[in-house]
Amino acid sequence: MNTQKPGLDTFSESDIRSFEPEMKIGLLATVNPDGLPHLTLISSLRANSPTTMTWGQFTEGMSKQFIRQNPRTGFLIMSLNKEVWRGKATFTGTCRSGPDYDFYNNQPMFRYNSYFGIHTVYNMDLAEHTGREELPMGRIILGAVQGMAAAALSRRGTTKPVLNAFTRGMLDKPGNLKFLAVVEDDGYPYIIPVLQAHSAGSDRILFPLTAYGDELRGLKPSPAAFFSMSLSMEDVALRGEFLGFRRVGGIKCGEIRVNWVYNSMPPVPGQVYPPVEIQQVTDFNV
């Protein structure tokens, strides 16, 4: 499977400047030990040269474990002007001092924070990226209307409460951001915006092909990660199976059956579904 259009192998000076603001959306796609994609919000993601990228860690989470086991990553950066860069990069190592470490900890968000700062900087080599793109808002709005209609026609229940009320609200609220990630044939995960997606029952997500249709049509049934976030920085990460395409009320949609839900928000990231069994603590010396 290869959905990505031909990429660029360097960032321009304009790209690098566009990544500098703290107020932006940064997403990192990683691959877990089972070969499944995972999506995480990394707002500190930036380019520090035409061919390298960095990001800073101040909370724990699964992506930090996965990237050490598999260095192939996908990334997305979205500016407040609705400009988007997407691509792939390779993790090369970490540092806890030096110019990049100082850069992050001198940013207002961390410099004046009494409780946490950036404790580790992650370095990546750029593999390729799409270049600057503008979000196709007209097609996204049309797709959101179609997605809402398709979901209403296609709602199906399940005995498993996979998507709770909060998660469905995150998926269905107009204006929330939504993204899909798959692992491509080269082993790198790749991110596609699907702002037109909508929940369809308690374990399904539908997305019309109105926006980013050329890339979405290249998808084949496979494991997929999904990420939804609000502009108030609430978010939820999902994973499941991309089942392929079907028509609902004449609207061609991609369909994901969700089987895993993860709260990636601090202070305590953790798995929501399937429920994690509470273990009794018997050894207090660990």
Q: So what's the pLDDT on residue 149?
A: 94
Instruction: Report the C-alpha gap between 23 and 32 in whole angstroms.
Output: 28
Give the pTM: 0.91
Number of other CB atoms surrounding residue 112 within 10 Å: 7
Is the domain spanning 136-266 CATH 2.30.110.10? The answer is yes
What CATH number labels 13-133? 2.30.110.10
Fold: same for 13-133 and 136-266: yes
Beta-carbon contacts of residue 280 (< 8 Å; ≥ 6 apart): none
User: Poorest-confidence range of 47-56, 82-91, 98-107?
Assistant: 98-107
Any idea where the domains of the chain sit in the sequence?
13-133, 136-266
pLDDT one-digit tens code per residue, 90-144: 999 999 988 888 888 887 665 555 456 778 989 999 999 999 999 999 999 999 9
Percent of the chain with pLDDT over 90: 69
User: Poorest-confidence range of 63-67, 122-126, 256-260, 263-267?
Assistant: 263-267
117 burial via Cβ count (<10 Å: 0-12, 13-18, 19+): middle
End-to-end CA distance of the chain: 45
Residue 3 clears pLDDT 90, i.e. is over it: no
Residue 32 clears pLDDT 80, i.e. is over it: yes
Closest by Cα among 142, 249, 267, 180 to 1? 180
Residue 262, Ramachandran bin (φ over 0: left; ψ between -120 and 50: alpha; else beta): beta
Instruction: Report the C-alpha gap between 69 and 138 in whole angstroms.
Output: 40
Residue 244 clears pLDDT 80, i.e. is over it: yes
